[in-house]
Amino acid sequence: MAASTDPSPLRKPQTQQGFSDIAEGASIDPADVARFSAQAAEWWDAKGPFAPLHRFNPARLAFIRSRLAEHFGRDPKARDAFEGLSLIDIGCGGGLIAEPMRRMGFDVTAVDASSENIGTARAHAAEQGLDIAYRAATVEQVEAAGAGPFDVVLVLEIIEHVADPEAFLRTCSRLVAPGGIMIVATLNRTLKSLALGKIAAEYILRWVPAGTHDWRQFLKPEEIRTMLEGEPFTVTGPYGLNFNPLSDRWSESDDAAINFMMLATRD
């Protein structure tokens, strides 16, 4: 479902000129890109292969909205609460985060290495009347094109799928504007995450297709801190996100043994 041009005259921020719709870069893991590309048309099917992500999304959005409102001094309940601020969603998939961020008022750029994902995301955003600058690109291409800097850089559930996590994260960090913030979300490399985040999720509960994750690529919070050493950031977290089977809901938690988020604020 790839598209070489936008299906509607969506706004193109000045920072996006020079992007190519062919994604290449050192951070790319071709096998993971191919896996998600094969499912691209199903991103917005709440009962399809991305159903667990749809259920997870409200907790992610609540966390992101509250932390960004606090950081920028905005009212999270206000319409267009983040108007005037720029945001880039790296590894945006079908746009499940990019669209609500645009509705909150952010000027949104969203990139993904899969042109199939971008085609799906563009088409859905056009149907919703949302002007989001989607590009099939790697974070290296974003930097090389001179894009940004951005007030907010989102790196959500993508770092565990790249070939060189440290190089990838450092490149992402260079896109953050002074006083801006980067939010990283991933899976912890613990025995609990192996049992529940990998084996149970893929082979018992069938929440995601088998092979979606490689537990060896999960990252510990202290590893993310180490990756950002020497960069002008204050890193906080981890903040856990846990699933309650009784309420069938995700929520923020003190337990970061499986899913967690970290904040990196540029000094």
pTM: 0.81
Tokens of 261: 């988020």
The model's confidence at residue 53, banded by pLDDT at 50, 70 and 90, is: confident
Q: Is 65 annotated as a binding residue?
A: no
The answer to whether the CB of 97 falls within 8 A of the CB of 154 is: yes
Q: Is 87 annotated as a binding residue?
A: no
Q: Is 84 annotated as a binding residue?
A: no
- β-sheet with 150-156: strand ranges across: 133-136, 107-112, 86-90, 150-156, 176-187, 259-266, 233-244, 249-253
The model's pLDDT over 241-250, given as tens digits with 9 standing for 90+, comes to 888 877 878 8
Q: Is 197 annotated as a binding residue?
A: no
Of 152, 149, 148, the residue nearest 97 (C-alpha)? 152
Average pLDDT over residues 87-102: 96
Percent of the chain clearing pLDDT 70 (strictly above): 78
The model's pLDDT over 175-221, given as tens digits with 9 standing for 90+, comes to 999 999 999 999 999 988 778 766 666 555 556 666 666 768 889 99
Does residue 75 have a pLDDT over 80? Answer: yes
Average pLDDT over residues 49-54: 80
* DSSP sequence for 198-243: IIIIIIIS-SS-TTS--GGG---HHHHHHHTTTSSEEEEEEEEEEE
pLDDT at 101: 97
Residue with tokens 């563009």: 122
What mean pLDDT value characterizes the chain? 84
